[in-house]
Amino acid sequence: MPGFAQDRTTAFAGPELGRLRQIDSWSAPLLLRITRLHEGQACKPHAHARGQFLFPRSGRCRIWTEGEIWTASPRQAIWIPSGVLHYVEGIAATEVHNAYVDAGICRDMPGRAKVMTVSPLLAELIAYALGRGAEALPVGADARVYQVIADQIRSARDMAAMHLPLSGDDRLGPLLDRMVRHPEDGRSLEQWADAAHMSARTLARLFLRETGLSFGQWRQRLRIMEAMARLAEGQSVLAVSLDLGYASQSAFTAMFRKVTGMTPSDFLRDSAAPTGRGRRPGS
């Protein structure tokens, strides 16, 4: 698949053809489904005729699209427009809650993949609806719950979160894949180039040509993206700082503020804030 790393060894598991057909042929505006993934497990690359709003109820996952990587956590959903080829990979044992929406809802959503807020209300409504059973068309009170869920998805905010450009180059793609899986790895450009059997100058040129970013910019964005997902999952700033290879919490905070314009605490407060757009539950 163009833009995906080329040396992937992940054990793929679905989604089944029948499930894909059910998603695309569902007659109601909104369909809810659960996907459970083990650490390192992924679904096969696929696309939907519907838009998809997905987030892990527990755990973290990566979403790979053509040319980009996204990270989702319980407070960060990924919006995938209809027709976008993608797959989902569990970073840890993960329960993913998926909302598949029709064209009427898609009209109010971004035209490209985005990281979106997951309000506590939206997360609990989806969990409640899934607990009620999602195999039949909702009626009565359940139909009203689905309407509120649709309204909440429409009003979800685009988060100030990062995504990573990928490369289909046979030399750079596998290296990016390894860096994604080990964001704490502090090897220099020269050391990565030596491991890839090329000169540092060649590797630097590949980064710029294939991703539009320098080696340092790409790795910095990788670490910010990983940090945002871990913070949104509830990990402490200190733990995230040390896990990602920073010498201190203050060094991590300074880098985070330089790149995003806010401190980690500001990011958490902003991502938890209610949307500024009016909602019309049940309308």
Domain end call among 154, 186, 209: 154
Together in a domain, 32 and 141: yes
Look up the CATH number of the domain holding residue 260. 1.10.10.60
Together in a domain, 144 and 197: no
Q: Which residues of 34-73 are buried (b: 16+ CB within 10 A; e: fewer)?
A: ebebeeebbbeebbbebbbbbbbbebbbbbbbbbbbbbbb
Together in a domain, 147 and 173: no
Alpha carbons 219 and 226: distance in angstroms, whole number: 11
Alpha carbons 106 and 98: distance in angstroms, whole number: 15
Residue 73: partners with Cβ closer than 8 Å, 6 or more residues away: 55, 56, 60, 228, 229, 230, 232, 233
CA 7 to chain centre: 21
Alpha carbons 35 and 98: distance in angstroms, whole number: 7
Q: So what's the pLDDT on residue 162?
A: 65
Alpha carbons 223 and 213: distance in angstroms, whole number: 14
Q: Which two tokens stand for residue 274?
A: 């209610």
Domain end call among 123, 154, 185: 154
**C-beta separation of 131 from 138 below 8 A:** no
Q: So what's the pLDDT on residue 15?
A: 52
Q: Which two tokens stand for residue 66?
A: 């053509």
Q: So what's the pLDDT on residue 268?
A: 77
| 12 occurs within a structural domain | no
Residue 18 C-beta-side C-alpha neighbours within 13 Å: 0
Domain end call among 98, 123, 154: 154
Together in a domain, 142 and 197: no
Together in a domain, 140 and 201: no
Instruction: Give the amino acid at 34.
Output: I
DSSP state of 158: B
Q: So what's the pLDDT on residue 95?
A: 94
| 107 occurs within a structural domain | yes
Together in a domain, 23 and 149: yes
| 1 occurs within a structural domain | no
Together in a domain, 190 and 150: no
Together in a domain, 172 and 99: no
Alpha carbons 47 and 66: distance in angstroms, whole number: 11
| 243 occurs within a structural domain | yes
**Count of domains observed in the chain:** 2
Q: So what's the pLDDT on residue 278?
A: 35
Q: So what's the pLDDT on residue 193?
A: 96
For the full predicted model, state whether its pTM sits above 0.75. no
Together in a domain, 147 and 247: no
Q: So what's the pLDDT on residue 115?
A: 87
Low-confidence ranges of the chain (pLDDT < 50): 1-14, 274-283
Q: So what's the pLDDT on residue 86?
A: 94
Residue 24: partners with Cβ closer than 8 Å, 6 or more residues away: 48, 49, 50
Q: So what's the pLDDT on residue 10?
A: 44
Instruction: Give the amino acid at 279.
Output: R
Look up the CATH number of the domain holding residue 136. 2.60.120.280
Q: So what's the pLDDT on residue 280?
A: 34
| 282 occurs within a structural domain | no
| 10 occurs within a structural domain | no
| 7 occurs within a structural domain | no
> What is the C-alpha R_g of the chain?
19
Q: So what's the pLDDT on residue 16?
A: 67
Q: So what's the pLDDT on residue 283?
A: 29
| 278 occurs within a structural domain | no
- Residue 98 structural domain: 17-154
